[in-house]
Copies of this chain bind each other. A is one copy, B any other.
Amino acid sequence: MKISSINNAKVVYWAKLKMKKYRDIEHLFIVENEHLVEEAIKKGIVIEIITTDKYESSYPTYEVTPEIMKRISSLIAPPKVMAVCKHIVPSDISGNVLLLDRIQDPGNLGTIIRSAVAFGFKTIIVSNDTVDYYNDKVIRSSEGMLFNINIIRSNLLDMIELLRSKEYSILGTDVREGYDLRNLKKEKLAIIIGNEGQGMNIDLQHVCDGFINIPMSKNCESLNAAVAASIIMYEVFHE
């Protein structure tokens, strides 16, 4: 199907998906660029394709003008192909778990997702006030790894209770003292990463079984949240 009017109802509808509000209402999101479209197809969540070119697939495909693509895209340089995707249905908790408390920066969330897949974590639980993981910057900085891990949005305290019933160890992070992360066990770990500016919520600190400390120079107060999360996950993964 071809669409040439920028005011076409479909175009207006797609463009709205740039906003979290509409992604939540419609349970949809958009991925941009061929690589991410392919990943989304593999994941089985694509409902339609939008392209300025030809694109071979078994999905309904809309050929649009570059002007329309620009209207829908979140990128400065709009891609040749996008896919409209259904929200991914979370599955049950499995493997090692990362809990994210109010991560605000989309780049940080995407980077954490990418590292979590790299280091074999199976589940990420994000607090309700963490940035939307269907945000285009999150998807981009995750390099599509969003499709390779189970992400659950929930109240963290409830989930910690559930994790505890499943015999997980609940570990927070502390910039000044705590367990050396070289001595972490390798399984049934649930690690909490706190907000970029304020760290972990006090209520969460109270329910931790212990805290992990990353040794660092006194010249630096703290690490970037995505870096801290990645170093801990790396240590869990490394033999």
Q: Which A residues are closer than 8 A to B by beta carbons?
A: 107, 111, 114-115, 117-120, 141, 143, 145, 148, 182, 214-217, 219-224, 226-227, 230-231, 234, 237-239
Contacts and interface: CB of A to CB of B under 8 A. Distances in A.
A222 B234 CA distance: 13
A95 to B, nearest CB: 11
14 contacts: A111-B227, A114-B223, A115-B223, A117-B220, A118-B216, A118-B217, A118-B222, A119-B216, A120-B217, A141-B224, A143-B221, A224-B226, A227-B227, A231-B231
A219 B114 contact: no
B223 A237 contact: no
B224 A238 contact: no
B220 A148 contact: yes
A238 to B, nearest CB: 6
Residue in A117, A141, A224, A226 with the greatest tally of chain B CB atoms within 10 Å: A224
A109 B182 CA distance: 27
A103 to B, nearest CB: 14
A114 B220 contact: yes
Q: Ordered nearest first, which 3 A-B pairs have the shortest CB separation?
A: A118-B220, A118-B216, A227-B230
A237 B231 CA distance: 13
A176 B205 CA distance: 38
Nearest to A148: B219
Contact of A231 (B114, B141, B215, B234): B234
A237 B217 contact: yes
Contact of A219 (B117, B141, B224, B239): B117
A94 B226 CA distance: 28
A148 B221 CA distance: 12
B219 A115 contact: no
Contacts of A222: 118, 143
A227 B117 CA distance: 13
A173 to B, nearest CB: 14
A237 B226 CA distance: 19
Nearest to A180: B238
Contact of A238 (B120, B141, B215, B230): B215
